């Protein structure tokens, strides 16, 4: 029951302004519920001990009106107002940075809006500490839910609609993000890292992500990539590979994880991802390439691991 209260998905960590607000709301609700529960049980015990008595009718009516109608109305009304204020704050349509995230089956298309244009990446979100980021969320074909428990609230991603959420990280580190709405076969394997960086490091990272891939197109690994048809689904900016279907791979190796936040970005995992794709992540659209092996596979993996 307490597995969400520790580690990278710790919603009690208060690593963001929004999650700290949610935590305070939760604590106040729990204390309030405890006090009310004790009062109700106490009243029941008192009534049982005192027993029925005709002279008590007026007193009992007053008790029902104040304790049963007025008090709950005031308390629940106050909580509602407070909850709405928090909801307004964490879904407000403003931020120092705008990031569009599109839920796909089962990965995340991530687009940073910058004055120079869109910067496209996938399956990893980086944020600058103290900077309020506005997330504009949507989904491709089924409903997903975007959630970084340590940083803030969770928000549904709905096809054909745009929902909004803000995250203002206050603690450096790599926090875990996940899909919190059952969305089909690989739902449980739909994750991402949310990495909070110092402002200078973040600006440098974003500038690097905006660049095209540094490799020359006559790279032998790129030849395998194109011969196997990978470029029909994946884009590597600066090359002929311009497929719009799967994650953008321009700076694939700069990400910490592989397979939408699931496995460490290592050559071994990459080779396995290519040959045993559905063993690692069942149901996904990417077909496995079991016929790739030996030098050809090594060349392809080496090429992908250089896409920094
Ligand atoms: Cu996407 Cu669950």
Residue nearest ligand 1's atom 1 by CA = 144
Mean pLDDT, range 145-158, rounded to an integer: 94
In this predicted structure, the answer to whether residue 219 has a pLDDT above a threshold of 90 is: no
In this predicted structure, the answer to whether residue 5 has a pLDDT above a threshold of 90 is: no
**Within a 13 Å sphere around the CA of 57, how many CA atoms are in the beta-carbon half?**
2
How far does residue 147's CA lie from ligand 1's centre (Å)? 10
Model confidence, pTM:
0.87
* Maximum separation of any 2 CA atoms in the chain, in Å: 97
Ligand 1 neighbours, Cβ below 6 Å, are 103, 106, 144, 179, 181-183, 187, 190
The rounded distance, in Å, linking the Cα atoms of 12 and 125 is: 20
In this predicted structure, the answer to whether residue 25 has a pLDDT above a threshold of 80 is: yes
Ligand 1: nearest atom to the Cα of 103: 1
pLDDT value of position 203 = 95
Backbone phi, then psi, for 223, in 5-degree steps? -60, -40
How far does residue 101's CA lie from ligand 1's centre (Å)? 13
In this predicted structure, the answer to whether residue 199 has a pLDDT above a threshold of 90 is: yes
Share of the chain above pLDDT 90, in %: 68
How far does residue 167's CA lie from ligand 1's centre (Å)? 20
Tens of pLDDT, residue by residue over 249-292, are 999 999 999 999 999 999 999 999 999 999 999 999 999 999 98
In this predicted structure, the answer to whether residue 64 has a pLDDT above a threshold of 90 is: no
Tens of pLDDT, residue by residue over 77-104, are 998 998 888 888 777 778 889 999 999 9
How far does residue 95's CA lie from ligand 1's centre (Å)? 25
Ligand 1: nearest atom to the Cα of 190: 1
Beta carbons of 102 and 247 less than 8 angstroms apart: no
Residue burial 230-254, b: 16+ Cβ < 10 Å; e: rest:
bbebbbbbebebeeeebbbbbbbee
Ligand 1: nearest atom to the Cα of 106: 1
């Amino acid at each position: 029951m307490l597995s969400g209260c520790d580690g990278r998905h710790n919603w009690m960590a208060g690593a963001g302004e929004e999650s700290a607000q949610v935590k305070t709301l939760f604590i106040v609700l729990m204390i309030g519920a405890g006090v009310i529960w004790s009062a109700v049980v106490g009243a029941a015990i008192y009534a049982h001990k005192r027993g029925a008595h005709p002279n008590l009718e007026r007193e009992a009516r007053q008790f029902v009106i104040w304790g049963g109608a007025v008090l709950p109305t005031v308390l629940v009304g106050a909580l509602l107002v407070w909850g709405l204020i928090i909801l307004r704050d964490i879904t407000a349509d403003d931020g120092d940075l705008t990031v569009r995230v599109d839920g796909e089956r089962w990965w995340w298309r991530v687009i940073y809006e910058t004055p120079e244009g869109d910067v496209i990446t996938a399956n990893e979100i980086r944020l600058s500490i103290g900077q309020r980021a506005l997330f504009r969320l949507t989904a491709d074909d089924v409903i997903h839910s975007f959630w970084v428990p340590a940083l803030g609230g969770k928000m549904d991603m709905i096809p054909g609609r745009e929902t909004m959420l803000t995250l203002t990280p206050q603690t450096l580190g790599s926090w875990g993000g996940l899909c919190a709405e059952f969305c089909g076969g690989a739902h449980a394997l739909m994750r991402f890292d949310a990495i909070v960086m110092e402002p200078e490091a973040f600006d440098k990272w974003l500038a690097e992500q905006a660049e095209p891939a540094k490799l020359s197109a006559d790279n032998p690994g790129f030849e395998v990539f194109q011969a196997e048809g990978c470029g029909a689904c994946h884009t590597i900016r600066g090359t002929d590979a311009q497929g719009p279907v799967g994650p953008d791979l321009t700076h694939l190796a700069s990400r910490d994880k592989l397979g939408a936040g699931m496995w460490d970005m290592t050559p071994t995992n990459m080779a396995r991802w290519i040959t045993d794709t559905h063993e690692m992540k069942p149901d996904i659209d990417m077909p496995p390439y079991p016929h790739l092996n030996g030098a050809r596979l090594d060349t392809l993996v080496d090429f992908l691991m250089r896409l920094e």
